Structure formats: C-alpha cells, structure tokens
Amino acid sequence: MADDAPRRDAALVALDWGTTTFRAWLLDGTGSVLDSVRTADGALTVSERTDSARARAAAFEATFAWLCRPWLDEHPGIPVLCAGMAGSNHGWAEAGYLDVPAELSGLADRLTVVPAGDSVVHIVPGLRDAGPDPDVMRGEEVQLVGALATAADRPETVVLPGTHSKWVRLDGDRVTGFTTAMTGELYGLLMRDSILARLATGEVGPKASAAFARGLEAEAAHGDERGLSALLFTARPLVLAGRLGSAEVADYVSGLLIGAEVRHALRGDPAAVVALCGPPSTEDRYRLALERGGVSVRIVEEDAAVHGLWRIALDAGLASLTPTATPASVLTAEEQPS
C-alpha cells in the first residue's frame, strides 16, 4: 500500500495450505486483500520433516508463525482460517470431511480449532463422497465457495482444473457429487520422466496452440478405439516421422490428456453450462476442450480460494462485514476491481 493510502483494519488471515504450496492473505473487513504471501512450504514438505503427529503439528505451527509473523505481531488475536492439505491426516490437524450431498454453507459449522501461540486457527473440512464410487477433495471446497460467490449465474457443474481436476455437480448451493481426474499429475509425470519428455524441447506455454488442438482432435477421433495409453505414444512416431515438432510435443500431449478428461467427464455427466475456475495456464485449454464438447463455458476468476475463505469466515462469525471506510476513488491502482 502507498504510504498516503488510508489505513484499513485487518480482519482475517486466510490460508490455502496445499500439498506443494503455502498461500496466505491478510484481508480487511470487506474481504479485500491487504497483503499476501506465497511460498513452496507445502504440507508435504512440512510433514516430511517430522516423524510423529506431535512433531508434525509443531512443524506446521512453526511454519505458520514464521511465514505470517509480521501480520500476527501487528494484529494480535486476528482470526485465522485455513483450508487445504494442512487439514489432512498427514497435516496440521485432521479436519474431517463433510459427506455429500451437502450444503456448502455447512462447511462453516464444522471448523476444527487448533491453538497456535496467541492465535487460534480454524481449519475447514474437506468434502467426501462415501458412495459406491468414493472421492475426496480438500482445499478445492473453498475455491468452489468462492467461485459460486462470484459467478454471474448458478452453474450446475463447476470444473476446477489442476494437478487433480475436480468436476463438481451442484443443485443450487448443494454439492450432489464430484469426480477427480489426475490429469495434471499425469502430464507432469510424462513430461518430466517418460520417453515423451526426451522428445520434447519445452513445456506448454500460457495459451493453447495448434498442437494442443491437434491433440484434442486426435483424442476425439481415436480415443475410444485406441485408448489413452496408445494415443500418448503416438507423439514418438510422429516426431520420428517429422510430422510433429519437438517444440509441439508438450502441447500435443496436453491436448490428448485434457481432451480425454473432458470428453469422458461430459459423457458420464452431460452438462450444458459449466463454470470453469482455474489458473490462466489451464483455463484456455479446458475452455477449448469443453466448447468442443458442445458446452457453454463461464469463466470464473482464478483466485476463488481467497473469496471462499472470506465467505466461510463470515458464515462462521470469525469475521464480520464492515462497511469500507475507503471510497473507491482513493483505492490504489492494484486494488482497483479488474
């Protein structure tokens, strides 16, 4: 913040503590971001350094205190809300699950309370489908809350692409079921270590290319007869034959993988309108694959997690909405609504 900007009071520390990434935001009484931190201190890194549940909890507490120290020192007793793998059975404290079908507003009633020095940390539960095809999510539920809070209409399906993409079916505010596809992880494994990685001269860029579209088309044309494991191998003979450039391999493979995920998901659960909420690097690709499947796509802004955490904090009474003391005209440039 510029020194001459009016001071806004901090109201909440919001944490999205995932497997590989730690993200934290300091929010004011309107849910706007005053400050933020992002590091590679993911839950896996923290838990791998420890050999007992007690040591693990201490390591999480110490990491949190270290990364958020300036905020905690300046705002003693500020409420803290945390989502993500920090709430798993290998995390800070096991925060359980809400079984679907479930109202998203129920997340706020099931927070797990963990003391942390002078602070109290509240951990959001995950969502679980305990039916015949079980599934779990932890962290994506706050993205989902944020996506719904900012979506223009009420989508029946929300797609959250990522390492483990989530396809969430909704009836209003109620999650009726969801499915996970490990497409992002498969892409990472293949492009890091496989025979395809040795062919490829680069990773995917921010925008889908012609090679991505070619992967989508090949999967749509041959996926049912050849299967993913055979389709993925086609990159190699195509490169050997000079019909696919080394620089195109990553995008082609991405097209095959995302194409297969989207085509199967839409076949299993046809949707006319989908809300898509992911990082910019995947948004363009999933949009193309979804539109190819005849679906109308609504893009939801990327950083839904912080909106979701704020929404849950309000529902839980951890924070209360205060009218902003700052007229829009004096917001600094980076705080302007985009």
Sites of contact with a copy of itself (CB under 8 A): 128-130, 133-136, 164, 179-183, 185-186, 189-190, 192-195, 222, 224-230, 232-234, 236-238, 240-241, 243, 257, 260-261, 263-265, 267-268
- Work out how close the CB of 35 gets to a copy of itself at its nearest, in angstroms, rounded to a whole number: 32
Q: How far is the CB of 167 from a copy of itself (least distance, A)?
A: 8
CB of 179 to a copy of itself, least distance (A): 6
Give me the DSSP letters along 49-105: T-SSHHHHHHHHHHHHHHHHHHHHHHSTT--EEEESGGGSTTSSS---EEESSEEGG
Residue 127: strand, helix, or coil: strand
The secondary structure of 140-209 as a DSSP string is: HHHHHHHHHHH-SS--SEEEE-STTEEEEEEETTEEEEEEEE-HHHHHHHHHHHSHHHHH-S----SS--
Residue 180 or 281 having the CB closest to a copy of itself: 180
Task: Answer yes or no: are the C-beta atoms of 160 and 278 closer than 8 Å.
Answer: yes
Closest approach of a copy of itself to the CB of residue 237, in Å: 4
Identity of the residue, 207 or 243, whose beta carbon is nearer to a copy of itself in the bound complex? 243
Q: What is the dihedral of CA 15, 17, 21, 25, to 10 degrees?
A: 0
Contact in structure between 100 and 129 (CB atoms under 8 Å) = yes
Phi, psi of 61 (to 5 degrees): -60, -45
Nearer to a copy of itself, 116 or 260 (CB): 260
Nearer to a copy of itself, 44 or 57 (CB): 44
Cβ closer to a copy of itself: 44 or 314?
44
Can you tell me whether residue 244 is helix, strand or coil? coil
- Least distance from C-beta 137 to a copy of itself, angstroms? 10
Nearer to a copy of itself, 161 or 308 (CB): 161
Closest distance to a copy of itself from the beta carbon of 212 (Å): 17
